[in-house]
Chains A and B, each alone.
Chain A
Amino acid sequence: MSQVTTIATSQYTRYNTKVTKNRAISEPAWIRWTLISIALLFLSLFLFIPLIAVFTEGLRKGFETYFAAITEPDALSSIKLTLIAAAIALPLNLVFGVAAAWSIAKFEFKGKSILITLIDLPFAVSPVIAGLIYVLIFGLQGWFGEWLMEHDMKVVFAIPGIVLATIFVTFPFIARELIPLMQAQGKEEEEAGLVLGASGWQIFWRITIPNIKWGLLYGVILTNARAMGEFGAVSVVSGHIRGLTNTMPLHVEILYNEYNYAAAFAVASLLAFLALITLALKSYVEWQTANNALKNERGHQ
């Protein structure tokens, strides 16, 4: 499901918002402010107040408890594992995203729309099921369970399983961001490079990559946020071994279930902070893309 596509389409139109001054097609001030108030009330109830709560609950017992909670060994090892999982999943999905977008946007072939739908599949699958399918394959009773045990290897309830689940849930993000972008750009520039004697890789690095860099960055930001925050899929394959197979979100869950609320919210606030940075970066990229689009428009006039 292309949640990313919908954002992608909006990133080009945003910041061109024209607020109309025409009274015939606007509403009286009291209606305007009533509608704004209702919408903001809704957003406060579901977004703003819970977001503020994460930080206030985390700091409720003071800065000392806060820092103790995020620097204790189990918390640090969960931060490390989260970073490892994201650091492996991100480049793999990046290479896949660029390869998929290159083949889909620059070439015509049969079954293309089926391929695009298949790339979207992980969006439609519940994270819990994403974890389950890897247990069915690599778990003790799974297809490769006995073989893995004979060779003394572990996938499920170990780091490889966590990485696989992370890759699965972030699978479509970069591809979905790049496909519409590269389709819109066409292939004339690459063809010109080819005619002028550039090799395939030269075309790719010097023409394609500079053209898609903002879309690429946008996809990377979304992938990273989801990779670091994934809970359901990772929870199924992790086995919840403290200090070994707990990612940050799983560590939050354990602390919370132990009624250690201050510590749970302290670690959660790190993740919330990361989310806010993600949103800020995302807005910056959207602003850049809108700016570039404006520049291009002026350049063509």
Chain B
Amino acid sequence: MNKRRNILPGFGLSLGYTLLYLSLIVLIPLSAAFIKTTELSWQEFWTVVTAPRVVASYKLTFGASLIGALLNAVFGLLTAWILVRYTFPGKKIVDALVDLPFALPTAVAGIALTAVYATNGWIGSLLEPLGIKVAFTPLGVIVALTFIGLPFVVRTVQPVLEDLESETEEAAASLGANRWQTFYKIILPAVWPALLTGFALAFARAIGEYGSVIFIAGNMPMVSEITPLIIITKLEQYDYAGATAVAVVMLVISFALLLLINALQWWTNHRLTASK
């Protein structure tokens, strides 16, 4: 980057407006959460955020998010693979519909999944004879969190698979590797950073999710109550300090994840540019 003077106008105005708007909408309101928790002593804060019901909600939220993100990593990679490598009827429509969880309001997703997975629903009625109950159990939480995280892995892995040079795979084949070896040793390492990024994005999105989960979860304390719902419950009881304390725990975890994802994306881009 040479240090010549930038002659374009509008730097002060655009950056000034960006910083003002960012502060008013995001930074100052978010800092309110941290300032509010200072009303509690450290002891009180700790009691609130480690109460058994709250801890049970962490376990459910993080556990279900993790399983959902893992499911999405496996099936998202598979979906990206068939969309990039194979042809089949209706492929363009399938490709467009993968983004549905981004576009469909979460409340609509929530009631739709509940209707389908309830014991009298289309899929739920098939699973019930097998002794599997999905709606109103922690399993339902996993289903909802898998739904909302679905596009992330597909959309991060897809461009990397498209950019992959066929020459390396041909070289591997000519050197006697079978398809599985080529996949495992050539393709998987190439898509690995993108797969991890997609996994982390799906995981982070799932942790904060509220709308699609509350309908299907049943929301029983200690069993199927997610952390965002705990915040809402405390708010409805006018326990603002308690709600904020739990929110701060979630915010800190989300920020850590955001930094991790930025690092992962840097790694992905670095890999992509280095290979060219």
Residues of chain B contacted by A230 (CB below 8 angstroms): 105
Residues 170 to 198 of chain A near chain B (Cβ within 8 Å) = 171, 187, 190-191, 194
Q: How far is the CB of A297 from chain B (nearest CB, A)?
A: 16
Task: Determine if A236 is an interface residue (Cβ-Cβ < 8 Å).
Answer: yes
Residues of chain A contacted by B198 (CB below 8 angstroms): 6
Q: A27-B179, A119-B22, A121-B26 are in contact. Are A6 and B155 (CB under 8 A)?
A: yes
B107 and A17: CB pair below 8 A? no
A36 and B29: CB pair below 8 A? no
Residues 123 to 158 of chain B near chain A (Cβ within 8 Å) = 123, 143, 146-147, 150-152, 155-156, 158
Residues of chain B contacted by A222 (CB below 8 angstroms): 102
Q: A49-B116, A230-B105, A231-B105 are in contact. Are A168 and B111 (CB under 8 A)?
A: no
Residues of chain A contacted by B19 (CB below 8 angstroms): 115
Cα(A109)–Cα(B169), bound, Å = 43
Among B1, B36, B151, max chain A CB count under 10 A is at B36
Range of interface residues on A (Cβ < 8 Å): 35 or more
Cα(A166)–Cα(B111), bound, Å = 21
Q: A2-B265, A20-B166, A125-B254 are in contact. Are A283 and B102 (CB under 8 A)?
A: no
A268 and B112: CB pair below 8 A? yes
B100 and A47: CB pair below 8 A? yes
Q: How far is the CB of B270 from chain A (nearest CB, A)?
A: 14
Residues of chain B contacted by A36 (CB below 8 angstroms): 82, 86, 88
Contact of A100 (CB < 8 Å), options: B18, B111, B240: B18
Cα(A264)–Cα(B115), bound, Å = 12
Task: Find the B residue at minimum CB distance from A126.
Answer: B208
Residues of chain B contacted by A102 (CB below 8 angstroms): 10, 14
Residues of chain A contacted by B182 (CB below 8 angstroms): 25
Q: A133-B32, A141-B240, A222-B102 are in contact. Are A249 and B18 (CB under 8 A)?
A: no
B103 and A232: CB pair below 8 A? no
Q: A51-B100, A264-B111 are in contact. Are A17 and B15 (CB under 8 A)?
A: no
Contact of B99 (CB < 8 Å), options: A39, A119, A272, A282: A282
Interface of B is mostly: helix
Interface of A is mostly: helix
Residues 1 to 56 of chain A near chain B (Cβ within 8 Å) = 1-3, 5-7, 9-10, 13-14, 16-17, 19-20, 22, 24-27, 32, 35-36, 38-40, 42-43, 45-51, 53-54
* Residues in B lying within 8 Å of A, measured CB to CB: 1, 6-11, 13-15, 17-19, 21-22, 25-30, 32-33, 36, 75, 78-79, 81-88, 92, 94-109, 111-113, 115-116, 121-123, 143, 146-147, 150-152, 155-156, 158-159, 162-163, 166, 169-170, 173-174, 179, 182, 197-198, 201, 204-205, 207-211, 215, 228, 231-232, 235, 240, 243-244, 247, 250-251, 254-255, 257-259, 261-262, 265
* Residues in A lying within 8 Å of B, measured CB to CB: 1-3, 5-7, 9-10, 13-14, 16-17, 19-20, 22, 24-27, 32, 35-36, 38-40, 42-43, 45-51, 53-54, 57, 92, 95-96, 99-100, 102-104, 106-109, 115, 117-129, 132-137, 139, 141-143, 164, 167-168, 171, 187, 190-191, 194, 200, 203-204, 222, 225-226, 228-232, 235-236, 248-250, 252-253, 256, 261, 264-265, 268, 271-272, 274-276, 278-280, 282-283
Besides A102-B10, A275-B108, 6 new A-B residue pairs in contact (Cβ under 8 A), listed by A number: A6-B159, A53-B121, A99-B21, A127-B228, A232-B106, A271-B105
- What 7 A-B pairs have minimum CB-CB distances, sorted nearest first? A229-B105, A126-B208, A231-B211, A232-B210, A200-B9, A275-B103, A103-B15
Can you list 27 contacts pairing A with B, beta carbon distance less than 8 Å? A1-B201, A6-B152, A13-B158, A13-B159, A14-B162, A17-B83, A19-B87, A42-B75, A43-B79, A47-B147, A49-B122, A50-B109, A50-B147, A53-B115, A106-B6, A121-B26, A124-B204, A127-B228, A129-B231, A134-B29, A136-B29, A137-B29, A168-B29, A190-B8, A231-B105, A253-B107, A279-B103
